[in-house]
Amino acid sequence: MSAHKSHEGGDDSQREIAVLSEIKESEKKAEEILEKAKSEQDSITHQARIDASNLLSQRTEEIKKLQEKKVMEFRDKVKLLNEEKLAEGKTLAKQLKSKADKNSGKAVELVMKKFEEMV
């Protein structure tokens, strides 16, 4: 019987070695899975940062172009208003000159009349 027991003891040792080997193999696989997951996570995070940076740059450029467009539209509007005011000013100046010319003739007549009355 003792020979049989020692044979069973060998089987137990081999089973323990096999179980420990399986545990080590499972731990190794688990570590590989974790490392791969960490690597994928880092890659996804890095790509997300790049995408966010690109999107931010794109939006910033769009905002800049929109602001430039608004500034140009505002300048055009100011230019148009200035031209309108200048045209109004020229028209008013012509009207005033016309009135002044009319009044100038009357003033000359009045001065001549006064002068004739004095003489």
Residue 8 is predicted with a pLDDT of 57
C-alpha–C-alpha distance, residues 45 and 40, integer Å: 8
Mean pLDDT over residues 48-77, rounded? Answer: 97
Q: What does the pLDDT read at residue 21?
A: 94
Tell me the average pLDDT across 4-23: 79
pTM, 2 dp: 0.49
In whole angstroms, give the CA distance from residue 3 to residue 10.
11
DSSP-H helix ranges across the chain = 2-118
Residue 74: per-residue pLDDT: 97
pLDDT tier for residue 9 given thresholds of 50, 70 and 90: low
Residue 77: pLDDT above 60?
Answer: yes
Mean pLDDT for the stretch of residues 15-39: 96
